[in-house]
Amino acid sequence: MKKLNYLIALARIGHFGRAAEACHISQPAFSSAIQNLEEELGVTLVLRGQRFMGLTPAGERILQRAQRLAADWESLKQEAATSAGQLSGSLRVGVIPTGVAVSPLLTEACLSDYPCMGFKLYSLSAELIISKLDAFELDFGLTYLEDPRLQGFNVLPLYREN
């Protein structure tokens, strides 16, 4: 999972050194882990030059699967914690600016039932929320339901805004 998370970080950040820093390892160890992942999979994932130049077409496909696997892994860890009676972790929530004021209605109720739970709230545009949900960079979002790009997502109306 670590190597897949490194690939995800590299794709998100677009720079070996900064991605390594975000993953809390040295740049040489980071680069070595990416190369090792390529060797294990038997395919080139990263376009390299003097710097990061993007992912190969195979790298893009692997990235999508890696993002799903990372999300499933987090879900698995949370399920294990729940089974042990300790729901913990941090939910990443994207909220449109007009929804920020109501977000505590959700988070406070959850925190009272699960005090070990944490929340990271991000004020984002509806477009960014949908994009980050697609990339498994958010766990849920508060946005307008009329957006046609929400097809395929589970949606739940919370309130009506005038």
Residue 123 has a pLDDT of 92
Q: Quick: pLDDT tens for 57-114.
A: 999 999 999 999 988 888 887 777 767 666 667 888 999 988 888 888 778 877 777 7
- Which residue range is the domain that position 18 belongs to? 2-68
The residue with tokens 């960079």 is 137
User: Which of 108, 114, 55 shows the shortest CA–CA distance to 84?
Assistant: 114
Q: Which residues make beta-bridge pairs with 52?
A: 48
Residue 38, pLDDT above cutoff 90: yes
* CATH number of the domain where residue 92 is located: 3.40.190.10
pLDDT recorded at residue 48: 86
Q: Assess if residue 73 is contained within a domain.
A: no
Instruction: Report pLDDT for 101.
Output: 84
Same-domain status, 6 and 63: yes
Question: Is 162 a member of any domain?
Answer: no
Each residue of 113-160: pLDDT tens digit?
A: 777 788 888 999 988 998 888 888 898 898 888 888 888 888 888 877
Shared domain for 63 and 119, answered yes or no, is no
Handedness of CA 101, 107, 109, 115 (dihedral sign): negative
- Structural domains of the chain, count: 2
